[in-house]
Amino acid sequence: MSFPGIQRSTLQAIGGTPLVRLDHVVPEGAAQVLLKLEGGNPTGSYKDRMALALIEGAERRGVLRPGQRVVEYTGGSTGSSLAFVCAVKGYPLTLVTSDAFAPEKTRTMRAFGAEVIVVPGEGGQVTPDLFARMRQEAHGIVEREGAFWADQFHNTDAHAGYTGLGREILRQTESGGASVDVFCAAVGTAGMISGVSAVLRQAGSRARIVALEPSSSPVLTVGTAGPHRVEGIATGIVPPLLTADVLDEARTVDEAEARRMALRLAREEGILAGTSSALNVVGAIGLARELGAGHTVVTVAPDTGLKYLTGDLFEG
């Protein structure tokens, strides 16, 4: 393993995360499942990649001026990542979030110096109207203060943030003597699955791209939104960044099964990850069973389970 020299900024610590093979939770006779561990990024989330791309893209275009306030609505991981990037670059930041998300995320945003506005949720669940209410609050701040809206759901700079992730997957699988047969991941803004898909296809990969979502909110597969407790995904809409050329297929995963898998990942694989990571793994295992031995399914653990320790995810 090689290590870089001294980095001039914590922003350069983003990326370069490991890709590991799951040994214990994947059944015998299935394809190998490789998991990209994004918890190694500075805030413990792959959203660090996107946050840097959103801010630096705006800087290059001249739509974000020195000292201008940045605004975004967020389930927490994007907010934490934007708070980190804005702290390093010196931008004031206002984030709109909800008490439906893990309190660790709100505390992280405030620790980096962001102003945080909390929109009440309903029964601790991510409901179809929650993101609409958060978006309305953020829009009001932009109108009143002339702030720059990072706009993660529409900003195509998000793709650039995740091309590095796609290139890393290609290099890591090739150096390990494998090729990607399927790449699957749950969809929030869809920036990650879109960015990785573009890289794989530009490289000539024939990998199948599969979007995952909780069966309790099957917007992509059925067109119906519903409440759930998987943070960071299934926001109740088909995200604008998820264009028709990105996907080959969309599938649902049972949320209860994903929550059980989070515990298995910790206790059998030594991987402490959240519910969206576990949902990705459950979806990947289903695909691995169908493909069989001699194939490779790649998915992503978007963040670290350290963000979810105050909830009930790891009880049992």
Q: Is 47 tagged catalytic?
A: yes
19 token code pair: 């890709």
102 token code pair: 């893990």
Question: How far is residue 253's CA from residue 91's CA, in Å, rounded to a whole number?
Answer: 39
**Helix, strand, coil abundance in the chain, percent, nearest 5:** 40, 15, 40
Q: Is 276 tagged catalytic?
A: yes
283 token code pair: 């979806």
Residue type, 207: A
3-state secondary structure of 142: helix
CA distances, 251 to each of 149, 153, 187, 215, 300 (Å) = 31, 21, 11, 8, 16
25 token code pair: 């939770």
Which one is catalytic: 47, 105, 194, 216?
A: 47
Measured in whole angstroms, how far is the alpha carbon of residue 216 from the centre of its chain? Answer: 19
Which one is catalytic: 216, 217, 276, 277?
A: 276
Q: Which of 13, 53, 14 is nearest to 151 (CA)?
A: 53
Active site residues: 47, 276
